[in-house]
Structure 1
Amino acid sequence: MENRGGHYLRELLEMLKKDLFVLEKTEASCCGMTLSQCHVILAIGKAGEVSLNELAGLLNLDSSTISRSVDNLFNKGLVSRKVDERDRRYVRISLTEMGKEVYGEIERNLADYFERVFSSIPEEKRHQVLESLKLLLDAVRENRCCEEGFLW
């Protein structure tokens, strides 16, 4: 495993990325929305209330892409818009009650899935897996090649 170093790490990460993408796509379609709409719901649910620019920053996407997703979610009754009282140029976006229900469903599905994944790891290796993932995350963040985009 260590003999192949970076190349093997890349292969494993590409496989993991692909599997997680399939998972996200499956979970999103279960809620009757696109993957990007699902990401928007999750980001708003975690943040509580955000501006369009804050949301774009959280998801590392441009404002026009986020705006389309928010418009569609607004039309479905899942998000609300409120003019910021301090600066009327900004609109604050939050989840409606129905949006909170969808957010909760997505969160529960993901929590259940990752609990099953974690439980399938031998108990004596679980701490090691979490520690290794944290080390990997730190190394990736420390060695970013650029602020936007990536090679994959």
Structure 2
Amino acid sequence: MKSIEQTQLLRENLRVLVRKLGVLERGEASCCGITLSQRYTIVEIGRAGRMPVNKLIEVLGVDKSTVSKSVEKLVKIGIMVRENDSEDRRSIILHLSDQGQTLFKEIERRATAYFEEVVVEIPDDQREQIIEGLQYLTQALKTSRCC
């Protein structure tokens, strides 16, 4: 297969994948009473345990105002806790409250359940190959500049 054909197939498959996952994520977020941006914030903080605001901005790849709005709302509704860093007074550390931990675990449980259903649709002998291919693709996307 020619490189241009591979490129087109990759683009088409990724377009469908992004659309399907976007619909899934929006549905997951709305069923929990939060926005998609807030869901991303909860998941990243939940996985890290504690994280400085600047690191969250870097991880999410969005601007400071987007993160600030999301964090402010999550703090206000009791999902997230914001603390001054004892080692660097200029830095703010974020972590989930008990309520936030419960929500994070529910988000993770639902996502895992969904992808368990997806995985069983993939032939056993191709699962590892697909996961490995996705790892290569993810790394390539991380190192490539966009538009």
CA RMSD across the alignment? 1.3
Aligned residues: 145
2:98 corresponds to: 97
Structure 1 CA distance, aligned partners of 2:133 and 2:141?
Answer: 12
2:35 paired with 1:29? no
Gaps of 5+ in 2: none
- 2: CA distance between counterparts of 1:111 and 1:52? 27
- 1:5 and 2:6 correspond: yes
Instruction: Describe how 1:95-134 pairs up with structure 2 within 5 A.
Output: 95-134=96-135
Structure 1 runs not aligned, ≥5 long: none
Q: TM-score, normalised by structure 1?
A: 0.90
Q: C-alpha deviations, 1:13-71, integer Å up to 9, x for none? A: 11101111111101111110000000000010011111111110110011111011000
Residue 61 of structure 1 corresponds to 62
Distance 1:85 1:25, change over 3 A: same
Give identity over the alignment, percent. Answer: 40
In 1, Cα distance between equivalents of 2:141 and 2:50 = 29
The one-letter code matched in structure 2 to 1:122 is P
Runs of 4+ in 1 over 4 A off after TM superposition: none
